Amino acid sequence: MKVIVPVKRVLDYNVKPRVKADGSGVDLANVKMSMNPFDEIAVEEAIRLKEKGVATEIVAVSIGEAKAQETLRTALAMGADRAILVTAEGPVEPLAVAKLLKAICDEEAPGLVILGKQAIDDDNNQTGQMLAALTGWGQGTFASKIEVDGDKVQVTREVDGGLETVSLSTPAIVTTDLRLNEPRYASLPNIMKAKSKPLAQKTPADYGVDTAPRLTIVSVAEPAKRQAGAKVADVDELVTKLKAMGVAK
Ligand code: AMP
């Protein structure tokens, strides 16, 4: 079974985002970029399925600027077999990403597509769901466990009230949650090997997809600064203050 893993290049999760002076977005100049953490989990899961003999080939896909090649090389160093880069300038919205992934699914006929539940830059949490709608395949989102048995995939999902298990028929779409696994680090020999793994370069036009934005970002603002806290001497003073604020009776 072939597994497709879409990986997005995003601002590294350790970097504190800076909003551009004109409020048009986050400043990405000279900041560390990395693979979206949920996508690392997706790559790891695909590799584990290959190690179990379930997956036969892992194809990593990224849509974005040419530098997304680095992200794909990371996926290849972790254990993906080959990669596809769809080069697009500027932000590509989830609907356009999903349309491109749908076209790639038509060509590649995977048994499983494992995406991250969300990209930590835009926090959209839409692409997997849109891809499921476009392909008409079943979806198991926010997965904390994936078990493949023949043409069935059992996905344990992290939902508000606890865990829900769904059974999907392949081909299927799965999105990863944080507790699914702990991604491995690529070893130095594997980083070297990844340099010679195949990486195909495509454009949205190759797939007949228009990536023009459908949304306009009105403004981007930093969260309000938190007010400094105050120390209280004892619980009585705390309760008095809370009552004064109307928080306690
Ligand atoms: P989002 O819906 O934007 O929060 O993203 C959810 C998931 O879709 C990500 O974790 C990736 O697996 C995938 N994805 C979103 N955008 C891209 C992109 N530009 N290239 C590759 N994968 C993407």
172-204 pLDDT tens trace? 999 999 999 999 999 999 999 999 999 999 999
Mean pLDDT value across residues 57-76 = 98
- In sequence order, the 6+-apart residues with CB closer than 8 A to the CB of 107 are none
Quote the ligand 1 centre to 145 CA distance (angstroms).
20
Chain-wide mean pLDDT for the chain? 96
Looking at residue 78, what is its pLDDT? 98
Quote the ligand 1 centre to 183 CA distance (angstroms).
17
Give percent of the chain above pLDDT 90.
90
Q: What is the pTM of this model?
A: 0.92
Q: Which residue has the higher pLDDT, 229 or 108?
A: 108
Mean pLDDT value across residues 108-130 = 97
Residue 63 CB–ligand 1 contact under 6 Å = yes
Residue 71 CB–ligand 1 contact under 6 Å = no
Q: Tokens 């059992």 identify what position?
A: 154
pLDDT digits (tens, 9 = 90+) for 100-113: 999 999 999 999 99
Looking at residue 11, what is its pLDDT? 96
How far is residue 198's CA from residue 178's CA, in Å, rounded to a whole number? 29
With H, G, I as helix, E, B as strand and everything else as coil, classify residue 219: coil
Mean pLDDT value across residues 139-147 = 98
Looking at residue 223, what is its pLDDT? 86
Mean pLDDT value across residues 150-168 = 95
pLDDT at 246 over 90: no
Distances from the Cα of 179 to the Cαs of 38, 53, 86, 144, 182, in angstroms? 10, 22, 29, 5, 8
Q: Could you tell me how far CA 88 lies from the centroid of its own chain?
A: 18
The residue whose CB lies within 8 Å of the most ligand 1 atoms, and thus the one to mutate among 97, 122, 125, is 97
- HSE-CB at 18 with a 13 A cutoff on CA atoms is 8
Q: Which residue has the higher pLDDT, 217 or 42?
A: 42
Looking at residue 245, what is its pLDDT? 87
Positive or negative, the Cα torsion across 105, 107, 108, 109? positive
Fold observed for domain 2-245: Rossmann fold (3.40.50)
Looking at residue 90, what is its pLDDT? 84
Instruction: Give the residue whose CA is nearest to atom 9 of ligand 1.
Output: 116
